[in-house]
Amino acid sequence: MPTRRRLLAATAAAAASPALAACGEQAGAARMTKQARRVPGRRVNLVFWTWVPLQKAVALWNKHNPDIHVTVQTVPANTSGGYQKMHAALKAGDPPDLAQIEYYALPEFMLVRGLTELSAYGADRLKDTYVDWQWQQGVFAGRTYAIPQGSGPMGFFYRADLYDRWDIQVPRTWDAFRQAAMKIRKRSGGKSYITAFPPVNAQWFASFPWQRGAHWVRTEGNTWVVDLTSEETRQVADFWDGMVRDKLVAPIQDSQSSFFKGLQTGQIASWLGAQWQDALIRGNAPGTKGKWRVAEMPQWERGEHASANWGGSSTAILQGTRHPREALKFAHWLNTDPASIELLVEAGYGWPSVELELEKSPLGKPDPFFGGQVYNEVFQVSDRNVDTSWRFSPTTTQSYAHIQDNSGRVVAGHGTLQDALADAQTKFVDDLRAKGLDARSAR
């Protein structure tokens, strides 16, 4: 097994995170993974922590694999406490065997040596089954540490009935998006907005600089370079500053009751969101069945198809498991078996990580909720046009919190997004240095 220094100092080819420089952070796992000897006739029991409702898929696995039983335990989603719970379990020496970990959080688990190196158990032989850029999210220093589960290509969900009523064209550019926003405010009598602008959602906001071609983090040797003030990011921030200042967007936090009420009533006429949010809209705005459609994200240059990704998770095997081979077998089945994928799609787990033929999958069917549109054709185009060179740092969780704190103040009327990002950049660098990593601002 490579040493921690080699893992943190090496640059993984096309990995989710570039070089992680060696640092003084203590390993977060109290015990290391070790394969237990299988006892004939004795069942292996695995525990899987996730916030996605995967019970049906796991039940199918258990039905056909009585010798390897998986128990699903629900944990809070990502920054709501799930990762803190995982880190605490690692330090206590009592982690689950498997855990859902988003791509952006994998580097922070690598930093504390919290993931099992799966190449030693044959994971690399599975690579060609998966979408390459998603597979690479779990590769560090040429070794595999997580199995990709799904991603979140971005699209534009919109209420076709409202756009028709107000005689508004679906915006294909960001300039047209602003013009449409102004028309919606006027033609709805001030009751509706083109979309919400969540006061505290850095991952959502990051998708727009990502689409524009920005790169918030990169490495030069072993030094992390943070750049939240590039020309591309400033252009995006200036656009949304204007939308917020002119009250063309609703200052409503996404995925909360007020947000879903806005979708249901038409207060929010459209939403720039990830593919996995189709299930959230369907489940929380049932009265709008048949009224929704999906288009590509608005573009900075007419005719382009640039996109970005929001979300995406891996099925990781945490450090300390006594059954890595069995856990890997389950993780691969979960994310590649056609019957499992169909159940995962029903659960709204995201865009699959496995290579698939859309027309032969459940995702390729006309959907009555979206007016019979084969709306995932839009997300297939989006997925193919995501800039896969975007990287995440090992402090993304805490660093994005600074962006959220600052953007919340902007929405409340204090300062600009450009200023908020410049301030967050300084704190972002401080976060990395606090981990013992070399870091600097780009400018």
My answer on whether 147 and 286 are in the same domain is no
My answer on whether 75 and 93 are in the same domain is yes
My answer on whether 184 and 235 are in the same domain is yes
Contact 300, 387 (CB under 8 A): no
User: What values do phi and psi take at 19, rounded to 5?
Assistant: -55, 140
Residue 377 parent element (H or E): helix 376-384
Domain presence at residue 383: no
My answer on whether 322 and 302 are in the same domain is no
Domain presence at residue 385: no
Asked if pLDDT for residue 3 goes beyond 60, the answer is no
For residue 301, what is the domain's CATH number?
3.40.190.10
Report the amino acid identity of residue 185. Answer: R
User: What values do phi and psi take at 371, rounded to 5?
Assistant: 65, 25
- 34-40: long-range contacts, CB 8 A cutoff, minimum separation 24: 34/322, 35/121, 35/322, 35/323, 35/324, 35/325, 36/322, 36/323
Read off the pLDDT band of 77 (50, 70, 90). confident
DSSP per-residue letters across 62-112: HHH-TTEEEEEEE---GGGTHHHHHHHHHHHT---SEEEEEGGGHHHHHHT
223-246: b or e for each residue (b if 16 or more CB lie within 10 Å)?
ebbbbbbbebbbbbbebbbebbee
Domain presence at residue 97: yes
Q: What percent of the chain stands above pLDDT 70?
A: 93
Domain presence at residue 375: no
Full domain range(s) for residue 337? 4-151+310-365
Contact 22, 46 (CB under 8 A): no
Domain presence at residue 202: yes
Answer with the one of 365, 381, 409 that is the final residue of a domain. Answer: 365
Report the amino acid identity of residue 278. Answer: D
Contact 169, 176 (CB under 8 A): yes
My answer on whether 130 and 193 are in the same domain is no
My answer on whether 302 and 335 are in the same domain is no
Read off the pLDDT band of 350 (50, 70, 90). confident
My answer on whether 24 and 97 are in the same domain is yes
My answer on whether 71 and 29 are in the same domain is yes
My answer on whether 108 and 233 are in the same domain is no
The predicted pLDDT at position 360 comes to 86
Domain presence at residue 376: no
How far apart are alpha carbons 81 and 76 in whole angstroms? Answer: 5
End-to-end Cα distance, the chain: 38
Average the pLDDT over 179-199 and give the result.
98
Q: What percent of the chain stands above pLDDT 90?
A: 85
Read off the pLDDT band of 79 (50, 70, 90). low
Asked if pLDDT for residue 105 goes beyond 90, the answer is yes
The angle at the Cα of 386, spanning 11 to 115, to the nearest 5 degrees, equals 40
Task: Give the chain's domain count.
Answer: 2
The predicted pLDDT at position 348 comes to 75
Identify the weakest region by mean pLDDT among 20-29, 81-90, 91-100, 253-262. 20-29
- Span 251-269, pLDDT tens digits: 999 999 999 999 999 999 9
Read off the pLDDT band of 349 (50, 70, 90). confident
My answer on whether 97 and 181 are in the same domain is no
- How far from chain centre, in Å, is Cα 200? 16
Indicate the average pLDDT of the chain: 92
Domain presence at residue 374: no
My answer on whether 38 and 165 are in the same domain is no
Domain presence at residue 372: no
My answer on whether 84 and 167 are in the same domain is no
Using CB atoms within 10 A of its CB, is residue 281 exposed (0-12), middle (13-18) or buried (19+)?
A: buried
